[in-house]
Chain A
Amino acid sequence: MTVQELPGAAAYRPTPPPAWKPLTDPAPLLPDPEPYRVLGTDSAADADPELLLRLYTELVRGRRYNAQATALTKQGRLAVYPSSTGQEACEIAAALVLEERDWLFPSYRDTLAAVARGLDPVEALTLLRGDRHTGYDPREHRIAPLCTPLATQLPHAVGLAHAARLKGDDVVALAMVGDGGTSEGDFHEALNFAAVWRAPVVFLVQNNGFAISVPLAKQTAAPSLAHKAVGYGMPGRLVDGNDAAAMHQVLGEAVARARRGEGPTLIEAVTYRMDAHTNADDATRYRGDGEVEAWREHDPIRLLERELTGRGLLDEEGIATAREAAERMAEGLREQMNADPVLDPMDLFAHVYEERTGQLREQAEMLRGELAAEHDPLEENGVEGRR
């Protein structure tokens, strides 16, 4: 059967990509020498107060979520948690710039972006609790499964965005990756495909200083990660990843650009991972306290709070309200995570193929038998020992 003969195929009419002339002048693609900032600069005055307040509430909530999830690892309720404390501005902005029809391609550290996009806080944690691989339907939320193998989600984002454009939908894919992940081959292949296909994709690199223990200086010799964009023929933007307003603006521009059919953008957000790589990691082995303390001065919540209170948009009461809302979310999360998940071992065989193979049916029966009875197999089989 060819595609034409497939039922429903008539409705599918690919739209050709717009004509694309490679740029000969790289200058417009180059990132600024310094990370772009809004908070604490003159352009802060232009920022929409409502947006800033929304970002603030979400940042506070996100910080609380990270703290709660980390606490849950200590109580054995989560197998592991890679905290994004310190990186909340990147996470929140990534979620908020997308329209409902857009897609998010998060890495394993980006639980917060998924939650800020509307995913149930518990569903977002089932991977890390250990009961399922992906506790939500990616199609329902337009969030790809949190991705553990580094950078492998990036080509998926490109393919999805390309497919959407072929179908004539103005959907944008936003894909997140860490600084370490930019060294993987998949990162380079994804950027190249995206630029050649002029796919509506935004690549967001959260440069948080380390890939587990390896500092950026051992990861790349490029002037910045944003500079990598130029070689592929897309613009690179360098942003202060702790400045929620700047993040929102730069990501928003890149999304708009992609939606207009002007192709992909690579954004490097310069931020810092305040906690260890995960709760299982000992960060004192590879970084000094002084470094962490210095970044505390540049905390994303503090930066935004200063801006908002300075402009009279936020007072003690407003701060308390945001914190209370975050506390309620944490309480709910705690409560739900403290209940043992009820799992059916038969689910092991449920989703390997659309239909179970004979082999899997046999193995399922075997497990069912095992579960049905704690038994002594030798005795049950009537074996009295070999004489």
Chain B
Amino acid sequence: MSTAAATVGGRTGRAKPATMAQALGRALRDAMAADPTVHVLGEDVGTLGGVFRVTDGLAKEFGDDRCTDTPLAEAGILGAAVGMAMYGLRPVVEMQFDAFAYPAFEQLVSHVAKMRNRTAGAMPLPITVRVPYGGGIGGVEHHSDSSEAYYMATPGLHVVMPATVDDAYGLLRESIASDDPVVFLEPKRLYWSKADWSPEAPAQVEPIGRAVVRRPGRSATLITYGPSLPVCLEAAEAATAEGWDLEVVDLRSLVPFDDETVAASVRRTGRAVVVHESSGFGGPGGEIAARVTERCFHHLEAPVLRVAGFDIPYPPPMQERHHLPGVDRVLDAVARLQWEADS
């Protein structure tokens, strides 16, 4: 699966500020240029360039057959992608918003996730499903869901989420190169985040499934991904004032899950908080906390805590700030890690 690491290479070009959305677009472009079997399809991906402009320019450069405006039907889009992949293409599908991917769930769960297994390996499906996801952009109903728990509970799917501009490029190239289906979750509220970035030859392209330590620290580990990474980095900075030296681990992918990087970090620090904005109950944090506990029990000085969105349907935009875990809630949890003192 790590082919892209070899094909893309290291950073050489001059760095310029780029947004995450631009980096994603560039990844699609480069993947299409490198491999004629890569096809992009979805609602409004052609002339409009996608509602977030991620696919801007692709139809012009590669033609309508390579970047296709489909009829408005998510089950149809993903179902057609299954057939295209069966015939040797590499479809990259765009679901316009998180909650509008649900009509495609049947295709995703019953076919995309299972085809390799059903056919005893004879028919893998190299499909990438791009889903703009998560809240924090003031979207009305059905525009802010965090759906990663549904996807990660479905064996057969990779579930990937970039949190930086570099990773947006690298992980998307990796996902498209993967012979397994990937649900590629794009944190909407980071689309406009910027980094100095060199489109000619972008930063390291990591194979899917490797977590990275974004900030080294000694006193506790914040385990996070996607939209919550900036929150955790900010919390880690704020915590230094109180003498806490927090390590921040960016998972980058929930499936596969990088047990090694996470466990190594928690063994070093002895304390861990999982932070994500999707609901806590039945959410990714429970799985992560259980894995950490299983691997690091003797190193832990406090229970693994979770900071997550409330267990409610995503609220209206005027109320979302109360729902989304912010820096204070992370710091609250960090304070509770002072377990011996409290119990």
A184 to B43, CA, bound (A): 12
Interface string of B53-96 (1 = CB under 8 A from A): 00000000000000001111111100000000000000000000
B323 and A286 contact, CB distance less than 8 A: no
Residue in contact with A218 in the complex, picked from B71, B219, B242, CB distance below 8 Å: B71
Residue in contact with A383 in the complex, picked from B48, B138, B319, B338, CB distance below 8 Å: B338
**Among listed B15-23, B125-133, B206-214, B309-317, interface-contacting one:** B309-317
Q: Which chain B residues lie closer than 8 Å to A213 at the CB level?
A: 44, 46-48, 69
Interface string of A325-354 (1 = CB under 8 A from B): 000000000000000010101011100100
A375 to B103, CA, bound (A): 43
A26 to B99, CA, bound (A): 38
Number of A-B contacts (CB under 8 A): 146
The number of residues on chain B lying at the interface, defined by a beta carbon within 8 Å of a beta carbon of chain A, is 53
CB within 8 Å of A: which B22-67 residues:
43-44, 46-49, 51
Q: Is B189 an interface residue (CB 8 A)?
A: no
A370 and B44 contact, CB distance less than 8 A: no
Tell me the smallest distance from the CB of B201 to a CB of chain A, in Å: 30
Q: Take A183-B72, A218-B69, A286-B48 as given contacts and tell me if A386 and B243 are in contact as well, using a CB distance cutoff of 8 Å.
A: yes
Q: Take A185-B73, A348-B322 as given contacts and tell me if A385 and B242 are in contact as well, using a CB distance cutoff of 8 Å.
A: yes
**Among listed B113-121, B226-234, B247-255, B328-336, interface-contacting one:** B328-336
Tell me the smallest distance from the CB of A227 to a CB of chain B, in Å: 16
CB within 8 Å of B: which A131-149 residues:
131-133, 148-149
B313 and A359 contact, CB distance less than 8 A: no
A384 and B242 contact, CB distance less than 8 A: yes
CB within 8 Å of A: which B239-291 residues:
239, 242-245, 281
A7 to B140, CA, bound (A): 40
Q: Is A21 an interface residue (CB 8 A)?
A: no
Q: Which chain B residues lie closer than 8 Å to A150 at the CB level?
A: 72, 100
A212 to B94, CA, bound (A): 15
Q: Which chain A residues lie closer than 8 Å to B138 at the CB level?
A: 79, 130
A359 to B282, CA, bound (A): 12
A211 and B72 contact, CB distance less than 8 A: yes
Tell me the smallest distance from the CB of A145 to a CB of chain B, in Å: 9
Interface string of B299-343 (1 = CB under 8 A from A): 000000000001111011111001100001101101110100110
Tell me the smallest distance from the CB of A163 to a CB of chain B, in Å: 24
Closest B residue by C-beta to A349:
B312
A148 and B141 contact, CB distance less than 8 A: yes
Q: Is B192 an interface residue (CB 8 A)?
A: no
B336 and A133 contact, CB distance less than 8 A: no
Q: Is B142 an interface residue (CB 8 A)?
A: yes
Closest A residue by C-beta to B338:
A383
Q: Is B102 an interface residue (CB 8 A)?
A: yes
A285 and B48 contact, CB distance less than 8 A: yes
A184 and B73 contact, CB distance less than 8 A: yes
B317 and A130 contact, CB distance less than 8 A: yes
A130 and B243 contact, CB distance less than 8 A: no
A218 to B315, CA, bound (A): 35
A348 to B239, CA, bound (A): 29
Interface string of A352-382 (1 = CB under 8 A from B): 1000010110010001001000011111111
A381 and B338 contact, CB distance less than 8 A: yes
Q: Take A130-B140, A184-B103, A341-B318 as given contacts and tell me if A381 and B336 are in contact as well, using a CB distance cutoff of 8 Å.
A: yes
Q: Which chain B residues lie closer than 8 Å to A212 at the CB level?
A: 43-44, 48, 51
Closest A residue by C-beta to B244:
A386
Residue in contact with B332 in the complex, picked from A129, A220, A377, CB distance below 8 Å: A377
A348 and B319 contact, CB distance less than 8 A: yes
Residue in contact with A184 in the complex, picked from B72, B281, B318, B335, CB distance below 8 Å: B72
A219 to B331, CA, bound (A): 50
Q: Which chain A residues lie closer than 8 Å to B242 at the CB level?
A: 378-379, 383-385
B243 and A385 contact, CB distance less than 8 A: yes
Closest B residue by C-beta to A178:
B72
A148 to B244, CA, bound (A): 45
Closest A residue by C-beta to B327:
A377
A352 and B312 contact, CB distance less than 8 A: yes
A352 to B318, CA, bound (A): 17
Q: Which chain B residues lie closer than 8 Å to A129 at the CB level?
A: 318
A128 to B141, CA, bound (A): 9
Q: Is A127 an interface residue (CB 8 A)?
A: yes
A128 and B140 contact, CB distance less than 8 A: yes
A385 and B332 contact, CB distance less than 8 A: no
A130 and B76 contact, CB distance less than 8 A: no
Q: Take A359-B281, A386-B244 as given contacts and tell me if A378 and B69 are in contact as well, using a CB distance cutoff of 8 Å.
A: no
Q: Which chain A residues lie closer than 8 Å to B245 at the CB level?
A: 386
A149 and B102 contact, CB distance less than 8 A: yes
Q: Is A387 an interface residue (CB 8 A)?
A: yes
Interface string of A227-266 (1 = CB under 8 A from B): 0000000000000000000000000000000000000000
A214 and B244 contact, CB distance less than 8 A: no
Among B48, B243, B329, B341, find the residue whose CB has the most chain A CB atoms closer than 10 A: B48
Q: Take A80-B140, A343-B318, A345-B322 as given contacts and tell me if A183 and B71 are in contact as well, using a CB distance cutoff of 8 Å.
A: yes
Q: Which chain A residues lie closer than 8 Å to B319 at the CB level?
A: 131, 343, 345, 347-348
Q: Is A186 an interface residue (CB 8 A)?
A: yes
B69 and A186 contact, CB distance less than 8 A: no
B335 and A378 contact, CB distance less than 8 A: yes
Q: Is A181 an interface residue (CB 8 A)?
A: yes
A149 and B100 contact, CB distance less than 8 A: yes
Tell me the smallest distance from the CB of A322 to a CB of chain B, in Å: 31
A129 to B317, CA, bound (A): 8
A89 to B43, CA, bound (A): 28
A383 to B48, CA, bound (A): 53
List 8 tightest A-B contacts by C-beta distance, closest first: A385-B243, A130-B317, A213-B48, A381-B335, A183-B71, A180-B72, A377-B332, A378-B242
Q: Which residues in A have some Cβ–Cβ distance to B below 8 Å?
A: 79-80, 127-133, 148-150, 180-181, 183-186, 211-214, 218-220, 281, 285-286, 341, 343, 345, 347-349, 352, 357, 359-360, 363, 367, 370, 375-387
12 pairs, A vs B, C-beta closer than 8 Å? A127-B316, A212-B43, A212-B51, A213-B44, A213-B46, A213-B47, A285-B47, A285-B48, A347-B319, A359-B311, A384-B242, A385-B244
Other 9 A-B pairs with CB < 8 A, given A211-B43, A286-B48, A363-B311: A130-B318, A184-B73, A184-B103, A285-B48, A341-B318, A348-B322, A349-B310, A377-B335, A385-B243
